[in-house]
Amino acid sequence: MKIVLIGVQGSGKSTQGNKLAAKLNVPYLSTGHIFRELSREHTPLGRYIKETINAGYLIPDDKTLKIVSKYLKRPEYQGGYVLDGFPRTRGQAESFSNGIDAVFYIKVRDEEALARLSVRNDDRKDEAPPALSKRIELFHKFIEPVSEYYRKMRILHEIEGERDISEIHKEICDILKI
């Protein structure tokens, strides 16, 4: 099964993505994670990605599509995957024709996302708050056309994200009948 998870940073999509991937026995792939890895490389691409992420902007579609497509060609992704954070723009969604089975949009209020992010203690703690607010603002701008695109394809499921982790997981599994 090929699943896409979308949601603002702090929505819990990586938690849900990992649980779902384990249940489906497919790999979990987060574009945010890929880009953060690449941003640590001392190459022109690495430096460019680092600057773009730190400024709170999205990596341009052409670069994102190239990087994600390269990952998804690996043998471990041929049996399906849970993709977190991609497609994130309408352009990415339109160019990505990989036979997605379902898209889950995990929704939380912006205040809740910011509150969760301010107590987060992981590899992203170097991110400055202005970048977080900017990122949330841009998320909304770009994600609405993406969700509309998948709604029209009738594969979009909007999930209320301000609930127990296990409750959300169960709802997703029920929808997928797994």
Letter for the amino acid at 79? G
Does position 150 interact with ligand AMP (CB under 6 A)? The reply is no
- The residue nearest ligand AMP at its CB is 32
Residue 76 DSSP one-character state: G
Exposed, middle or buried by CB within 10 Å (0-12, 13-18, 19+), for 114?
Answer: middle
Alpha helices in the chain (DSSP H): 13-24, 31-38, 44-54, 61-72, 90-95, 110-118, 129-152, 165-176
Contact residue for ligand AMP among 4, 53, 83, 146 (CB under 6 A): 53
Does position 7 interact with ligand AMP (CB under 6 A)? The reply is no
What phi and psi values does residue 49 have, to the nearest 5 degrees? -65, -40
**Identity of the residue, 58 or 106, whose beta carbon is nearer to ligand AMP in the bound complex:** 58
Stretch that binds ligand AMP, among 58-66, 106-114, 147-155, 159-167 (CB under 6 A): 58-66
**Window 109-148: contact mask with ligand AMP (x via CB under 6 A):** --------------------------x-------------
Cα radius of gyration (the chain): 16
Q: Report which of 67, 88, 82, 95 is spatially closest to residue 135, judged by C-alpha positions.
A: 88
User: How many residues in total does the chain contain?
Assistant: 178
Stretch that binds ligand AMP, among 52-60, 72-80, 115-123, 170-178 (CB under 6 A): 52-60
Stretch that binds ligand AMP, among 17-25, 69-77, 86-94, 100-108 (CB under 6 A): 86-94
Question: Strand, coil or helix: what is 164?
Answer: coil
User: Residues in the site for ligand AMP, rule: CB under 6 A?
Assistant: 9, 31-32, 35, 52-53, 57-59, 64, 85-86, 88, 92, 135
